[in-house]
Structure 1
């Protein structure tokens, strides 16, 4: 039974149980509960020194008492993937405690024929899922033996493929015992990211980046996957979790069309931050945003 190591602990976040727990607690205490209980959240996956405080605004919306399963959809940064992949491990290690993979849900997903398996090496190289594990462990610590996780690595999906996975995940999103964590940073701006879109009418560079990201967030809040695809075509904004976000939007759209037992699905962005403020064309920054989706 393979266990995925916490390969980014000690560099991207603290590998000390006590220090990490305290840090997460402080960030969560500083965030307000305004849009919960969350059925899904969107949160960043950078080093905690950059995005930990922002992430807390998404994680604060979770009601751990109802959650029995946590789906984590993270984009693939290192391997080319046309679809989605499941882990080869049965447990994910964190400095707080180990998280168990839901083998029954994995078997159900395997049965669709739409998922491949990633190797343990690929899994341990990827940070987009791992960076959410300590936050999940912290929020769920009072129920640590009562929940499982369903990590899914999301490849470069076409809009049609996003719709296929959206339909697969819709029935899980409809279940109040499930929580979806959508892993995404927002604009990666600068020459090192090969993206320097700048509209001077929007102010300084960092203000232009903010406007660009706000346009995306406003569209995501409408839960319209086609509008989000059009936005990405127009601006090519480097939102690394655009495909996991697309899958969530497709799942929500599918449920809305099917009728969600009279529930209204509502997604709101609660926090936005940038790693630094870009003033000139040689600067660079990464943007972070936290959102929660709930069934009202």
Structure 2
């Protein structure tokens, strides 16, 4: 019998009604322009859809699904302390639209490197950072049901050396145009409840300072500079929850460059949003950014 990861956040973080969900996703995708395509990888948020669903649509709109046979989804671990990266033990992930089959062969390949572990089912089902992307993946890939599989990877608190190592391993998969990568990340979590209240008053209101801080990091990511991104995080401690998945992506591109890959790589952010505009130290917000990596 197939082992299934249930959709544990449906009905709370996003609707579990297939018709309503399909309508929402279509609406968000229809309003997003095509500006950076065909994306080999995207960076997109993972909060509740009422907060970031529209922003995420801008990333998924950059995807050409015609060649995709495999979708890697790298999400940060919010609850379990893991030192590396972990793989699912299940055979498929549920979504309200249709179930997504796991590429167990690629899982076995990754596990054979000695760098990956398997996560317990309760850890898998507790985590939202991967699940929040599953409906969007199902939606854009609806015309290719039966022709693709997914590779969910839960990313722990990695050292810079480990980000380099995982980037090197995954670079071989990123180089294949039949593979597509989703990098799951929200940006600045600001406010006392997040224990982060950095405020540079030269930008005026707090929300403008947050935006400037995020854009500084986004510009470094667009440069595909893993060392610069690490230094930025060290200097400002920006609470980008998917910093390690982003670091793995940047190191994967860096590994391709060092191995003589002749492609030109272009990463651009196509949408930025905040859950609210902070005006006082009592406020709080979470930032969202959608970006796309193109190989030319």
Distance across 2 between alignment mates of 1:209 and 1:197: 8
Determine the structure 2 residue equivalent to 1:74: 75
Distance across 2 between alignment mates of 1:145 and 1:24: 21
CA RMSD of aligned residues (A): 0.5
- Whether 1:99 and 2:113 are equivalent positions in the alignment is no
TM-score (norm 2): 0.99
- Whether 1:193 and 2:194 are equivalent positions in the alignment is yes
**Residue pair 1:72, 1:182 contacting (<8 A) in 2 also:** yes
Count the aligned residue pairs. Answer: 295
- Whether 1:3 and 2:4 are equivalent positions in the alignment is yes
Determine the structure 2 residue equivalent to 1:163: 164
Offset at 1:88?
1.3
Distance across 1 between alignment mates of 2:29 and 2:3: 31
**Residue pair 1:50, 1:275 contacting (<8 A) in 2 also:** yes
CA deviation digits over 1:103-145, x for unaligned, max 9? 1100100100111111111111000000000000000000011
Offset at 1:278?
0.1
Determine the structure 2 residue equivalent to 1:36: 37
CA deviation digits over 1:245-277, x for unaligned, max 9? 0000000011112122x3101100000000000
Matches within 5 A, 1:10-159: 10-159=11-160
Determine the structure 2 residue equivalent to 1:281: 281
Distance across 2 between alignment mates of 1:18 and 1:289: 27
Which stretches in structure 1 are left out of the alignment for 5+ residues?
none
Matches within 5 A, 1:261-272: 262-272=262-272
Distance across 1 between alignment mates of 2:47 and 2:188: 12
Distance across 2 between alignment mates of 1:203 and 1:271: 22
Would you identify which runs of 4 or more consecutive aligned residues in structure 1 move more than 4 Å?
none
> Aligned with 1:35: secondary structure?
coil
**Residue pair 1:225, 1:250 contacting (<8 A) in 2 also:** yes
CA deviation digits over 1:149-170, x for unaligned, max 9? 0000000000000000000000
**Residue pair 1:256, 1:265 contacting (<8 A) in 2 also:** no
- Whether 1:206 and 2:183 are equivalent positions in the alignment is no
Distance across 1 between alignment mates of 2:235 and 2:212: 14
Offset at 1:203?
1.1
Distance across 1 between alignment mates of 2:112 and 2:181: 20
Distance across 2 between alignment mates of 1:265 and 1:40: 11
Distance across 1 between alignment mates of 2:184 and 2:29: 18
Determine the structure 1 residue equivalent to 2:174: 173
Distance across 2 between alignment mates of 1:82 and 1:21: 36
Matches within 5 A, 1:225-244: 225-244=226-245
Distance across 2 between alignment mates of 1:243 and 1:120: 22
> Aligned with 1:201: secondary structure?
helix
CA deviation digits over 1:38-78, x for unaligned, max 9? 00000000000000000001000111111100000000000
Distance across 2 between alignment mates of 1:69 and 1:108: 14
> Aligned with 2:173: secondary structure?
helix
